[in-house]
Chain A
Amino acid sequence: GEQVEQLPSILRVQEGSSASINCSYEDSASNYFPWYKQEPGENPKLIIDIRSNMERKQIQELIVLLDKKAKRFSLHITDTQPGDSAMYFCAASDTGYQNFYFGKGTSLTVIP
């Protein structure tokens, strides 16, 4: 099975509403969960991350939640703007293996 599952693969929301992306992981040893935003023709850029010693982290309009028991983490973008339209990738990593597993990505479109 997939190490990291990411849903939905496509997400369309109205400007000003919230967008949520959910990821689940298999390896209970995973302890670092970054989120990347990739705009067309650009490389992925880190937008927010969370480590396993936290359950919630917020940077401006970005909120990430981590449920270690359920092995799930999620990204919530509040008050979405057209500039938030992009591909978003979640990932999970374990310090022991120095390996990252990425989700397959979510294509977010914010409709003006």
Chain B
Amino acid sequence: GGIITQTPKFLIGQEGQKLTLKCQQNFNHDTMYWYRQDSGKGLRLIYYSITENDLQKGDLSEGYDASREKKSSFSLTVTSAQKNEMAVFLCASSLQGADTQYFGPGTRLLVL
């Protein structure tokens, strides 16, 4: 089995701040995803990557950047945090598209 880790677990930022979230997987999966989940709501895709150095925009990419530095890691940057923003950012990976996605534990963001 493998594992997905996300750091940090909790992130408190200031309005306008640039914030970076990291994700690592040791499944040796090709595809990695970043989702945003607002309280009590569904998952919205921000970015995904099908291989190292690849980036594909999801429906919610505005206001975010991402980087797939190597196969095992995928980072997400909130380019300018919005005041009172509160959400959970979930990273996931799958062997390929249309395969089971395994989710990380999430990063909980709060912007003061």
B74 contacts A by Cβ under 8 Å:
no
Q: Is the CB of B43 within 8 A of A89?
A: yes
Q: Sort chain A's interface into a size bin.
A: 20 to 34
Q: Main secondary structure on chain B at its contact with chain A?
A: loop
Which one of B12-20, B79-87, B96-104 contacts A?
A: B96-104
Q: Is the CB of A43 within 8 A of B105?
A: yes
Which of B41, B96, B97, B104: most chain A Cβ within 10 A? Answer: B97
Query: Which residues of B are at the interface with A, using a C-beta cutoff of 8 A?
Result: 31, 33, 35, 40-45, 48, 50, 56, 58, 90, 96-106
Query: Which residues of A are at the interface with B, using a C-beta cutoff of 8 A?
Result: 6, 31-32, 34, 36, 42-46, 49, 87, 89, 93-105, 107
Known: A94-B98, A100-B101. 11 other contacts (CB 8 A): A6-B42, A31-B98, A44-B103, A95-B96, A98-B97, A98-B98, A100-B45, A103-B42, A104-B41, A104-B42, A105-B41
